[in-house]
Structure 1
Amino acid sequence: MKTFAEYQIFGRVGNIAPAGSTLKVSIAADYGRKNEKGEWEGKPYWNTVTIFNENTVRWAKVNLGPGDLVHARGTIRESSYEKDGETRYGVTLAAEQFDLLCPKDRQ
């Protein structure tokens, strides 16, 4: 039986930051709701996705901008490292699919 851990995010691009040969893209998924006055209140949750594929990195650097609506899907990897005698833990959201759904300027 095959096992896996994956994620899927539909959201808006925040920061785009090169990190060595990869690209880190922060994406906000908005879990907003109406308040007691009936007004919409946004509640964004930010996740940073890492793009490893060099072709996708090149494409993203040219085609993505803050506010764009995107879809990202990939694997989740937990990592750990030692720093100052302490074990530190992190999670990598490694993008296997990354699609631009709608540029900000067309919304």
Structure 2
Amino acid sequence: MINNATFQIIGRIGKINAGEKVTRISVASDRQVKDKDGNWSTEASWNDVTVFTEALRKRLANEKVGRKGNQVIFQGSIQSNSYEKDGKRVYQTNLVAQDFDVLSFAKDAE
């Protein structure tokens, strides 16, 4: 049996930061929260997705595909790591995309 940690996020693209070898995308997804009076409301949760695969990075660079507001679905693996910074151990968890699709384009939502 294979053990792995995976994720799936459906949400809207917020910001895309494309670097030389990695692209980071902020994805807003909705979640239901209950206030102290018992009333439910919808809030946005922002998740940062990391893309290393060159083919996926090229798709995101496409003006129509990587547009702010597009509804997308990302799937991938959850990777934890740590590094040393200023003499202290820093721990982080990355959502590393292995695939994505556009579910609806921003203009379609208008």
TM over 0.5: yes
Partner of 2:10: 10
1:43 partner SS: strand
Cα deviation, 1:56-84, whole Å, max 9, x if unaligned, reads 10111112111110000000000111011
> Corresponding residue for 1:51?
51
Aligned partner (choices 70, 73, 79) of residue 71 of structure 1: 73
Separation in 2 of the partners of 1:34 and 1:95?
Answer: 31
- 5 Å-filtered alignment, 1:60-99, equals 60-62=60-62, 63-99=65-101
| Structure 1 runs not aligned, ≥5 long | none
Distance change >3 Å, CA 34–CA 68, structure 1 → 2 = farther
| Greater mean alpha carbon deviation, residues 57-66 or residues 67-76 | 57-66
How far apart are the structure 1 equivalents of 2:34 and 2:70?
24
In the superposition, the TM-score normalised over structure 2's length comes to 0.86
User: For 2:51 and 2:28, how far apart are their aligned partners in 1?
Assistant: 16
Farther-moved stretch of structure 1 (25-34 vs 92-101): 25-34
Unaligned runs of 5+ in 2: none
Residue 101 of structure 1: aligned partner? 103
SS in 1 for 2:3: coil
* Cα distance, 1:66–1:34 mapped onto 2, change above 3 Å: farther
After superposition, give the CA deviation of every residue in 1:39-70 in whole Å (9 maximum; x if it has no partner): x8430111111111101101111121111100
